[in-house]
C-alpha cells in the first residue's frame, strides 16, 4: 500500500515537471520570437 502511494506521488511530480517544462519552453519561444522581431525592427529601420 505504501509503495503504491509513493509511485503515484512520483508520477504526479513528473506531470507537474512536464507541465512546467512545456510552459517554460513556450515562454522561451515567445520571448525569442518577440526579441528577434525587435532586433530586426531596430536594424532595418
DSSP state of 1: -
Domain count, the chain: 1
Q: Which helix (H) or strand (E) holds 3?
A: helix 2-43
The string of pLDDT tens digits covering residues 24-45 is 888 898 888 888 888 888 888 7
Q: What is the pLDDT of residue 33?
A: 87
The string of pLDDT tens digits covering residues 2-23 is 565 666 677 888 888 888 888 8
Q: Is the pLDDT of residue 1 over 80?
A: no
The DSSP-derived string for 26-41 is: HHHHHHHHHHHHHHHH
Q: Which helix (H) or strand (E) holds 44?
A: none
7, exposed or middle or buried, with CB in 10 Å at 0-12, 13-18, 19+? exposed
What range defines the domain where residue 35 resides? 1-45
Question: Which cell numbers hold the place of 15?
Answer: 506531470
Amino acid at each position: 500500500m505504501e509503495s503504491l502511494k509513493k509511485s503515484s506521488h512520483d508520477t504526479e511530480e513528473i506531470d507537474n515537471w512536464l507541465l512546467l517544462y512545456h510552459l517554460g519552453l513556450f515562454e522561451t519561444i515567445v520571448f525569442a520570437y518577440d526579441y528577434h522581431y525587435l532586433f530586426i525592427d531596430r536594424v532595418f529601420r
